[in-house]
Structure 1
Amino acid sequence: MSNTLKLAAALGLVGFLAACGGSAPEEEIVYVDPAPVAPQPVFTGKYN
């Protein structure tokens, strides 16, 4: 095989292993409680 073909095959193998081979660390899932819903203010008169 020519050196160019060997180099292309080696780079392809390295690229494949880098993309698919390593397992990524698991992400920790954090659930956040939603903010409580406040009732809307009630109209009690003009100046109250």
Structure 2
Amino acid sequence: MSKAILFAALVGFGGLVAACGNTRDDYVVVQPEPISTEPVFTGKYK
């Protein structure tokens, strides 16, 4: 009986390590859009 409990504990621990051990972050680099300037009022006919 104790071998079955030990086996179940080892399988559970192995599953925990497999599920939580691979926490690699993926970084995505996004190119920013160019900033355009607002049109400026320079007069009625310019």
TM-score normalised by the chain length of structure 1:
0.47
TM-score normalised by the chain length of structure 2:
0.49
